[in-house]
């Protein structure tokens, strides 16, 4: 492992991880409570994140910052992980009731906060633009694929295509990215005061989101069935490592490989809990998986990323 690569990853990841630790500490000390975490998370999802992405798209051109092959490979990688998780859930004899949970844990990552925070800290404004595009892709794919997996293994439940489409169309992150691209394309002038206000609002988004993640971890348990632990291993280690190696073989640059690894390796998304409960699945197992994957995934990113950069 090259010391310089390891230190570079530490410089980027430690501030992100420390904010999560601070959130857990504040929750344990009673400075913030569950109400703060819930309200803060809603603010990040509905207001902060779309604002950050909208203003980052102004004056930026995603096509000039990345090739079309990278988001395409990213989308294909998600599908491959989903298919592998589906196959694996049958091979390891996960109970019919928990197969949907297993599959969702293995492929649905917290790209909109965790991965985005890392690439913004690493690449600045470029990270917001490219990360915003990749996170928007996951907003669509994760919702559709999770609905398919959970509905398939739940009795007397069918997929409502109309409701699913409505959920995707109303997703604030997608709205923020699309609106920013449209405004940028047509050249609609926005007063500088509005832009400054939007950037102020966007600047608090990722720190608040990370504090809320830490606050939620403080009350979580880390006890999981072995098979669910296997799903976490697929999510934070097996899938990102294999797909990043495949990206290297296909000729993607080291820069692109880093983006892909950080997004493929995101820990299980908090939204997985909401969707699991809504489908009558075991919310407790999903919540514990989110907490465990956040801790394990953080360690994987810190120690595995420099190794991949050194050997690929």
Residue-wise over 145-174: b if at least 16 C-beta within 10 A, else e? bbbebbeebbeeeeeeeeebeebeeebbbb
Cα–Cα nearest to 164, from 183, 134, 139: 139
* Per-residue DSSP letter, 224: -
For residue 15, give the 3-state DSSP assignment.
helix
Name residues whose C-beta falls within 8 Å of residue 293's C-beta, 6 or more positions apart in sequence.
Answer: 105, 232, 235, 236, 267, 268
**Cα–Cα distance between 293 and 104 in angstroms, integer?**
13
Per-residue pLDDT for 217 more than 90? no
pLDDT in tens, 74-112: 999 999 999 999 999 989 888 877 888 899 999 999 998
Range in 1-10, 147-156, 196-205 the model is least confident about: 1-10
81, 232 in Cβ contact below 8 A? no
**Cα–Cα distance between 44 and 50 in angstroms, integer?**
8
**Cα–Cα distance between 100 and 85 in angstroms, integer?**
10
Name residues whose C-beta falls within 8 Å of residue 275's C-beta, 6 or more positions apart in sequence.
Answer: 104, 146, 147, 150
50, 172 in Cβ contact below 8 A? yes
pLDDT of the residue at 310:
72
Per-residue pLDDT for 278 more than 80? no
Q: Which domains does the chain have, with CATH numbers?
A: 3-311 (1.20.1530.20)
CA 249 from chain centre, in angstroms, equals: 25
Top-confidence residue, 244 or 6: 244
Per-residue pLDDT for 223 more than 70? no
């Amino acid at each position: 492992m090259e010391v310089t690569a390891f230190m570079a990853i530490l410089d980027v990841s430690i501030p992100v991880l420390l904010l999560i630790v601070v959130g857990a500490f504040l929750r344990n000390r009673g400075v913030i409570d569950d109400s703060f975490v819930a309200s803060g998370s809603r603010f990040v999802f509905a207001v902060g994140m779309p604002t950050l992405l909208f203003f980052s798209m102004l004056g930026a051109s995603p096509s000039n910052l990345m090739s079309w092959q990278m988001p395409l490979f990213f989308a294909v990688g998600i599908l491959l992980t989903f298919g592998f998780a589906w196959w694996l859930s049958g091979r390891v004899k996960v109970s019919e009731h928990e197969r949907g949970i297993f599959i969702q844990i293995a492929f649905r990552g917290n790209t909109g906060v965790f991965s985005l925070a890392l690439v913004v800290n690493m690449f600045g404004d470029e990270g917001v633009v490219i990360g915003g595009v990749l996170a928007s892709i996951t907003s669509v794919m994760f919702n559709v694929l999770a609905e398919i997996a959970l509905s398939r293994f739940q009795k007397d439940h069918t997929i409502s295509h109309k409701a699913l489409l409505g959920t995707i169309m109303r997703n604030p992150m997608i709205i923020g990215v699309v609106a920013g691209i449209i405004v940028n394309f047509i050249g609609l002038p926005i007063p500088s005061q509005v832009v400054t206000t939007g950037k102020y609002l966007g600047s608090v988004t990722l720190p608040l989101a990370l504090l809320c993640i830490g606050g939620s971890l403080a009350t979580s348990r880390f006890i999981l069935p072995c098979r669910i632990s296997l799903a976490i291993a697929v999510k934070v280690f097996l899938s990102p490592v294999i797909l990043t190696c495949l990206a290297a073989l296909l000729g993607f640059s080291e820069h692109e490989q880093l983006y892909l690894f950080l997004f493929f390796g995101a820990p299980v998304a908090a939204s997985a809990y909401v969707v699991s409960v809504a489908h009558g699945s075991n919310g407790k197992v999903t919540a514990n998986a989110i907490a465990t994957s956040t801790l394990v995934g953080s360690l994987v990113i810190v120690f595995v990323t420099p190794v991949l950069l050194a050997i690929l």
